[in-house]
Amino acid sequence: MMKFSNRVNQKSNDRFNIMLSSAPRCILSCILLCLSGISFIATADIYMYIDKKGNKHFSERKEDKNYTLLLRSDTNKKPHSFRNWKAKSYTNISIPRNKTLQRKYHPIIIKAAEKNQLDPAFLHAIITAESAYQSKAISSAGAQGLMQLMPETAKRFSVTDSFDPIQNIYAGALYLKILLKEFKTRELAAAAYNAGEGAVRKYKRQIPPYPETQKYVSKVLTFYQYYQHNL
């Protein structure tokens, strides 16, 4: 039986190698990409339409002439992977088109939001901006997990494993609760989450004049607006 299996496998391998060698280059590239196991997040543009009653409608495509582009995804051409996540820029972070991870962590987000008196849409917005729901994401500064906890922040909230979604989300939610209590608005809470509480205090409770922080806050508020209508 073992010898028979080996012959079958060898024949299968030979046929597969012939198929690869004769396949057009574009098809071959697709096959190799699928086999390589590289994971990525497809991201979407966001369009918005406000009807006559003032209701906001969101879509990932331009449904008709009434829809205007609210947020363009710069990552459609170069999606994020764990390999390039360390070089992320808030300019090109967008809402993932694939909702699998969002749905996976949604129950945890809901519970963490309820416990800390947060709007779940705001928590989703922060997570999207921080990691696009990638629980193993690591930034160049060493921030880790879904809500990109810095080691000192993780220690502050007794997190023993920043890659554990439950610990990470609950700690991040508690931190946001503290920031909202001090700074009062989601805009400033997001700025403090990104640049640190000290930076917001330093600039007299205004968004610090750091380009990345300003981009981050803009993205978070746009994501928040989207998730209010799309959860």
Q: Say which of 114, 130, 182, 212 is annotated catalytic.
A: 130
Residues 186 and 27: their CA atoms lie apart, in Å, by: 47
Q: For residues 125-164, b (16+ Cβ closer than 10 Å) or e, as one string?
A: bbbbbbbbbbbebbeeeebbbbbbbeeebbeebebeebee
Closest CA to 43 of 210, 219, 190: 219
User: Which residues, 6+ apart, have CB-to-CB distance to 176 below 8 Å?
Assistant: 116, 118, 122, 123, 126, 189, 193
Residue 130 among the catalytic residues = yes
Q: Mind telling me the catalytic residues?
A: 130
